[in-house]
Amino acid sequence: MFFGLFKRKEKAKIEEPAAILKEGVIPESAIPEKRTGLKLIPAQHRAELSMAIAKGKIKELKTIIEQNDIDVDAFVDDVYYTPLIMKAVTSFGIAEEEDRLIMIRYLLEKGANPNVKCKSGYNSLHVTLQQEKLVKVSALLLEFNGDVNLPDHNGCTVAYWALQGFPWRTEAEVRQLHLNVVEQIMMLGADLDYPNRHGVTPRKWLEHTPEDVKLLVARCALLKPVYRPDPKLQSEFPSDLQHSDVAKKIWKTMVPPSGQADTVQGELLRAIEKLRDEAHRNGNINYSASHKLLAQFVMNTLINSELFNQKEIAQIKREAKKLMKASAPYLEDDAYDYLTDQICIFYLKNEHPIPHQRNLDILC
C-alpha cells in the first residue's frame, strides 16, 4: 500500500496554459481512472533481465527482450512491482552513466513509460530528480513525455523535487545541465501550486532557489506552456486490506498533514504509515527511538482495547514487532495492512474521536 490508499487525487489540466507564477490549482476535469491490468515480465526471464541490467550489459538486455518479445512496460516482480525502466534507473551495477543512458533510451524507444509508478507510489522521474548524478537521465525521461504534474505517494510532483533539490553549488556545464532540466519541466506545463500532502508547493521551494533559477522559471511562464497529462493510466496494485474505505475515512478526517494526530484513531493510522514510509522509502536509514515508540503505541493500544481475542492479540504482537527493528526494515505490506485493518476495527467500535495525549518523545 504505502500511502496508495491515502494519497490526494491526481489532478490534471488538458490543453490549457499552466498556472506557473500565479495562485491556483489544476482542476479535476481530467482525473485519470486507474487501470487494473498488471503486466509482469515472465518469471523465467526476470532473473536474467535483472542481471543484465545490474551488470550494465546492454547487448545482453536487448537480446533477451527481442528474442522473447518482452513488454518493456511491464513490472519485474510481483512484490514491489518495479517497472523495468526503474530497474535500469536505480541499478548500482552500471559502471558508466553513459551506459545507463543508452540502456534507458533503448527501453524508452521500445515503449517503456517513464511515468509508471512502482507499488510504493513513485516513478522513475521522482527518483532521478533526487539524485544529482542522474540529471542526464532526468532530461531523457522528460524528453519521452515525462508527466511533470504526476505526484508521488506524498503528493510531491516532478517540479517539487527539481526545485527542492536544485544543487546550489554546481557550476559551469554541470549547473547548466540542471538548469536545462528545470526549463524542460517548466515548458511541459508544471503547476507550481500543486500542494503535497503536507501543504508544501513547488512555488514555496522556488522562493528559496538561486536567482538564475527564478529568472528561468519566470521566462518560461511568459511563454504560457501547455500541460498535457500522460494518457496512460496508473495501475491499481493488489492489497490485502479488508477495510480500505474505513482507512481512507480515518486518513482524510483524522490524520494531520504533519505532527501527531489529535485523536487516538488518527494517531494509530499515522503511526503505521510513518513506519511503512520509513521502511519502504528509506530502508530504515532514519529509524529512531521515535519509530519504535510508534510501533509500541499501535501494539499496546490495540491489545489493551479489549476488542480482540487471545489469538488476535498474539498476531497483533507478532506483526507489530516486525516493525520494531531498525536494522531490519520490514518491506512486505502484509504486516502494515493487517495492523491497518485492526485499527479500522478499533475505529468502527470507537467512531467518536478519542483525544490523543501527545508523546513528547516521539519526534517523527
Nearest to 4 by CA among 258, 234, 275, 346: 234
Taking all residues of the chain, what is their mean pLDDT, rounded to a whole number?
87
* CATH number for 84: 1.25.40.20
Domain boundary among 155, 190, 222: 222
pLDDT, tens digit, for every residue of 264-277?
Answer: 999 999 999 999 88
Residues 160 and 276 in one domain: no
**Strand ranges (E), 52-91:** none
| Whether residue 255 sits in one domain with residue 193 | no
pTM summary value = 0.68
Residue 226, helix vs strand vs coil: strand
The pLDDT score that the predictor gives to residue 28 is 33
Query: Has residue 207 been placed in a domain?
Result: yes
The crossing angle, in degrees rounded to 10, of helices 43-54 and 58-67 is 160
Alpha-carbon distance of 200 to 210, in angstroms, equals: 19
CA angle 333, 335, 338 (to 5 degrees): 100
Residue pLDDT, tens place only, 87-122? 999 988 888 889 999 999 999 999 999 999 998 889
pLDDT, tens digit (0-9, with 9 covering 90-100), for 322-335: 999 999 999 888 89
pLDDT of 362 reads 94
CB 274 within 8 A of CB 364: yes
Q: Are residues 108 and 194 in the same domain?
A: yes
CA angle 12, 13, 16 (to 5 degrees): 165
**What is residue 147's DSSP assignment?**
-
- Per-residue pLDDT at 17: 36
What's at 9, amino acid-wise?
K
Give yes or no for residue 56 having a pLDDT over 60: yes
What amino acid occupies position 185? I
Tell me, yes or no, whether 254 and 211 share the same domain: no
Task: Note the pLDDT of residue 4.
Answer: 42
On whether both 187 and 278 belong to a single domain, the answer is no
